[in-house]
Amino acid sequence: MRQTKTSLFPIIFILVFISVHTNSCAQMITGVWKGKINNKKAELKIIQKGDSLLGTSYYYESENNYRRYSIKGYFDPETNEAVWWDDQLIEEKTGKLSISTPGKIPYLSSADFNCPGSNKMLLDGNTSLKNNKNKVQGPVHLEKTNETSFPDEWDFIIENYTSGANDPYYIDSVASIASTPVIIPEEKTLPQKRTTLPDKNTETVKTDPKQVEKTEAVKPIEQSKPEQKQITVKKTIEEEFKVRERVIAVEIPVSGDSIELRFYDNAQIDGDSISLFLNNKLIFQHIRLTAVAYTIKLPVSELNETNELVMVAENLGEIPPNTSYMLAIVDNKRYEAMLKSTEESSAVIKLIKPKDQSNAIKN
């Protein structure tokens, strides 16, 4: 009887190990994936929301020559199969010396999510035309990595996915930002202007019947030099955040599990757009303020004792300055604030944990 139990133990151990390994692998599909799709360099950012997949795909030759799509798809945890497709072209950039245009054709990809070991995770499969899944284009081979060549809105979700950022509120909020097209036009060389040449049929001027015919050469048209326009390099939102003065607008005590913040355009809807920084880190960008609330949720457990949420104006709309009405809901309590941001200043919301709660969390 002892021999039977002893012989069964290795088998049970192997089955448990396989089960745990498979489940842990399935929970880690969220992340950055690099490799090739149809033999073209690609980087994928995949975020899992239930059985659905969201994110972005980059097809590139270099960091200055790429096309970026928003992606949608689904994941089957039983078969470990991931399926996604390039949903919408949201950004493209072509360098001066670029010959080809990577990512010109949107794909539909299907791949097996496998973990061969040594912390290595792979997506292997095939890709086809988005509009014709039966027309296979080439292989998919991607490997999970901790580095990205193309920083974007999904980085915050990926970096904090296991510590609260997998909340559907976060994912839906970033999805609406990341699907906004930011098309960078190709740099084209203007055709060189040609100088007008004299016509072969020159004009004949007769002054006397006996005078020899003379011709007048047509002078080339002088080309006026185009006026040189001064090019202003626009600062990034991170650079604007650093140089602008920060003005405290409101101080809010935080408690409970999470804090919900709702942002509206104050008064007339005029195209105001903002970015949000939490403790000097960009968390949301290109937020268009309207009469409908733009809602974010922050897990209280991830906050410091004292926190600064800074609203930075990306533009001033049609009616400066950029003004926002904010409603905060904390532990069933409501806090309101009028926030104003200009080209010189940003509005600060201070989020402070009560000392007793901070000590309770530490303990």
In the chain, the domains with their CATH numbers are 23-178 (2.40.128.120), 237-362 (2.60.40)
Q: Name the amino acid, one letter, at 61.
A: E
CA distance linking residue 78 with residue 23, whole number of Å: 9
CA dihedral of 73, 124, 151, 281, whole degrees rounded to 10? 80
As a whole number, mean pLDDT of residues 255-284 equals 85
3-class DSSP assignment, residue 220: coil
CB 142 within 8 A of CB 123: yes
CB 60 within 8 A of CB 43: yes
- pLDDT of the residue at 7: 54
- pLDDT of the residue at 191: 39
> Confidence band (pLDDT; 50, 70, 90) for 25?
low
pLDDT tens digit sequence for 28-63 = 799 999 999 999 999 999 999 888 999 999 999 888
- Look up residue 216 and give its two tokens: 């007048």
CA distance linking residue 363 with residue 358, whole number of Å: 9
Count CA within 13 A, CB hemisphere, residue 105.
16
- pLDDT of the residue at 107: 93
3-class DSSP assignment, residue 266: coil
Instruction: Please give the radius of gyration of the chain, using alpha carbons only, rounded to the nearest integer.
Output: 30
- Tell me which residue has tokens 């904090």: 160
Listed range (4-13, 72-81, 183-192, 307-316) with the worst mean pLDDT:
183-192
User: Per-residue pLDDT for 200 more than 80?
Assistant: no
3-class DSSP assignment, residue 319: coil
Closest CA to 354 of 296, 278, 300: 300
User: Per-residue pLDDT for 124 more than 80?
Assistant: yes
pTM of the predicted protein model: 0.48
